[in-house]
Amino acid sequence: MASSSDQFERVKAVILSCHEDTSAEEKINFYDTWAENYDQDVSVLEYYAPVFAAKTVSSHFTGARDTAVVLDVACGTGLVAKQLQNLGFRNFVGIDGSRAMLEMAKNIMLYQDLKLCMLGSQPLPFEQGVFDVVMIVGALSNGNVPVKVVRELCMVTKPGGYTCLTTRSNKDNLMYKTSLEQELGTLEKQGLWRSVQEVFIDQWERGITHHEQGYIPGAVYLYQKL
């Protein structure tokens, strides 16, 4: 059996290989290949963003959780839905650009609907104002989902509903994080939503690059649609 150190080095190599991919198609191919081992690999990274995000939503959501409809954007294998189910939510719609990830999400039997969509290249296939909660966890980062998608997430959220977003705060992602926060603020100034809570976490996940020793930080943003 491989040691924990060997497992971590293997996972680092896998993820760093994704950073070499430049086109959207290459990114999707990477996630298709990674889907089967995704859950165990992010566990090695001590990646707890789904936990942080779900707890943030749970601490503010006052509606009926068993009837609330949650849109899980870039749902991957379903880690966010699992956390929210533990907190009483029951109705999930998932969307992702990877067919293989969607197949893994289908297997956990939590989603009422799963849709394939390339975020940023294709519009979200939903009407405006239909979801009680919209989650995007792990995908808002440099080289992944573009910041412009945030407006779409806001628009598909019901008035009074919540949009929860996360990003990393490590050195390699600071420029993206700044752009993201500017867009979040722009939508607030336009009266589309209000900031409910920002949570900054020092130990977001284990760092994987040579200049990231130990853990990297991250952030959760929660907004309520007006």
In a domain, 189, yes or no: yes
pLDDT at 2: 62
Band the pLDDT of 47: cuts 50, 70, 90. very high
In a domain, 212, yes or no: yes
In a domain, 97, yes or no: yes
In a domain, 202, yes or no: yes
Which structural domain, as residue segments, surrounds residue 176? 46-225
Q: Model confidence over 124-181: pLDDT tens digits?
A: 999 999 999 999 999 999 889 999 999 999 999 999 999 999 999 999 999 999 999 9
Band the pLDDT of 211: cuts 50, 70, 90. confident
pLDDT at 209: 85
How many distinct structural domains can be found in the chain? 1
Question: How many percent of the chain have pLDDT more than 70?
Answer: 97
In a domain, 95, yes or no: yes
SS3 per-residue string spanning the chain: CCCHHHHHHHHHHHHHHHHCCCCHHHHHHHHHHHHHHHHHHHHHCCCCHHHHHHHHHHCCCCCCCCCCEEEEECCCCCHHHHHHHHCCCCEEEEEECCHHHHHHHHHCCCEEEEEECCECCECCCCCCCCEEEEEECCCCCCCCCCCCHHHHHHHHEEEEEEEEEEEECCHHHHHHHHHHHHHHHHHHHCCCEEEEEEEEEEEEEECCCCCCCCEEEEEEEEEEEC
The CATH number assigned to the domain holding 185 equals 3.40.50.150
Q: Model confidence over 15-42: pLDDT tens digits?
A: 888 776 568 788 899 999 999 999 999 9
Say whether pLDDT at 72 is over 70: yes
In a domain, 162, yes or no: yes
In a domain, 9, yes or no: no
Say whether pLDDT at 1 is over 70: no
